[in-house]
Amino acid sequence: MSIVLDAMGSDEFPVPEILAAVELNRLGEPVLLVGKKELIENKCKELNIDSKTLDIVDAPDIVEMTDKPVESFRKKPNNSMAIGLSLVKENKAEAFVTAGNTGAAFFNAIKILDRLPKISRPALAAIIPVKTGKCVFMDTGANADCRPDFLLEFAVMGSVYAGKVFNLSSPSVGLLSNGEESGKGNQLVKDAYPILESSGLNFYGNIEPKEIYAGKVNCVVTDGFSGNVFLKTSEAVGKMITDLLKVNISSRFLSKIGYLLAKPAFVGLKKMMDPSETGAAILLGVNGLVFVGHGRSDARALVSAVKLARSTIKSGFMSAMKDEIQSRLP
């Protein structure tokens, strides 16, 4: 079955989505492009693309980035998210990918797909680059306020996800804190520590940001507020470093010579740090595969997101996660 790509998601919709669909068709991964059909077809004409080569599902309502999730669900029932997620629920598609309003995606997914049994709060899990490769980091913004048992749920789901995407038998899980000792952290971290310690997971303990990027663990859990700040700060620092390198390289002749000699290393570093390489975060805890990307996603990021969705499907992740939730959560 196909994967749904929300054509009304990105900041520049539907152009990146159309270009991504064309590329995915070329790669043998056709998608269901869900959105306002008339708009998509008109934009295809502007791009000199034959819309008949795309599998378009009409969704006349558009959820804007400024829309409130609950209101958009009620006032725009035929939005691209609702229709796309319904296709997943009805087993007419295997996964849903969007670069749209995160809150609306979260709300629509819960309402249409429902939570998995024993899961209180679904959470967004991103894959971030670290020294040793990659790491699953969650929650990246779905739940600003959390209880300690939410972090246990995140750890169980994130551990399975890390195991599948990184092919690990016993992924290690760390708890984001301002110190490695068990007594460090705010009250949430202090209360969550013993719960995670007795969970039966491969619990590393508290972990600081520097150890995360050193690759000490395969999965990190925290509340959505701290996670979102961590992720956005990391992206901003990465961009600042890249921008400073460009300025310094272009301003000095010897720096330009040095860059040419070290270009392969810079290219590799840029690829590792580029969010478009992964494309999207997965929403864990709903009864279906949902991936949410940046609003500024371009066609390359959306192609990466669909590829991530396909690899997750092939890994048997959903079945494994359901089994783990049943065995580990009360």
Q: Express each pLDDT in 300-316 by its tens digit.
A: 999 999 999 999 999 99
Tens digit of pLDDT for each residue in 40-76?
999 999 999 999 999 999 999 999 888 888 988 899 9
Q: What value does the mean pLDDT take over residues 231-255?
A: 80
Q: What is the CATH number of domain 1-119+285-315?
A: 3.40.718.10
Q: What percent of the chain has pLDDT above 90?
A: 81
The CATH 3.40.718.10 portion of the chain extends over: 1-119+285-315, 121-275
Report the alpha-carbon distance of residue 70 to residue 271 in Å, rounded: 37
Q: Is pLDDT larger for residue 255 or for residue 239? A: 239
Q: 248 pLDDT band (50/70/90 cuts)?
A: confident
pLDDT value, residue 251: 75
Tens digit of pLDDT for each residue in 283-300?
999 999 999 999 999 999
Burial group, residue 310, by CB count within 10 angstroms (0-12, 13-18, 19+): middle
Q: What value does the mean pLDDT take over residues 154-178?
A: 97
Reported in sequence order, the residue ranges of the chain that DSSP labels E, i.e. its strands, are: 3-6, 31-35, 55-58, 96-98, 123-130, 133-138, 172-176, 202-207, 219-221, 281-284, 290-292
Interaxial angle between packed helices 187-197 and 148-165, expressed in degrees from 0 to 180 and rounded to the nearest 10: 60
Tens digit of pLDDT for each residue in 177-207?
999 998 899 999 999 999 999 999 999 999 9
Residue 259 has pLDDT above 90, yes or no: no
Instruction: Tell me the backbone φ, ψ of residue 9, rounded to 5 degrees.
Output: -90, -55
Which sign does the torsion angle of CA 270, 271, 276, 279 carry? negative
| Paired strand residues for 10 | none
pLDDT value, residue 271: 59
Q: What value does the mean pLDDT take over residues 85-104?
A: 96
Contact indicator for 318, 96 with CB cutoff of 8 Å? no
pLDDT value, residue 89: 98
Q: Which of 128, 62, 57, 126 is nearest to 86 (CA)?
A: 57
Residue 265 has pLDDT above 60, yes or no: no
Report the alpha-carbon distance of residue 131 to residue 157 in Å, rounded: 23
Residue type for position 122? P
pLDDT value, residue 240: 85
Report the alpha-carbon distance of residue 92 to residue 84 in Å, rounded: 10
Q: What value does the mean pLDDT take over residues 266-271?
A: 59
Contact indicator for 10, 17 with CB cutoff of 8 Å? yes
pTM of the model: 0.91
pLDDT value, residue 273: 59
Residue 272 has pLDDT above 60, yes or no: no
Contact indicator for 181, 226 with CB cutoff of 8 Å? no
Mean pLDDT of the chain: 93
Name which CATH class applies to 121-275: alpha beta
Q: 83 pLDDT band (50/70/90 cuts)?
A: very high
* Residue whose token pair is 């629509």: 108
pLDDT value, residue 146: 97
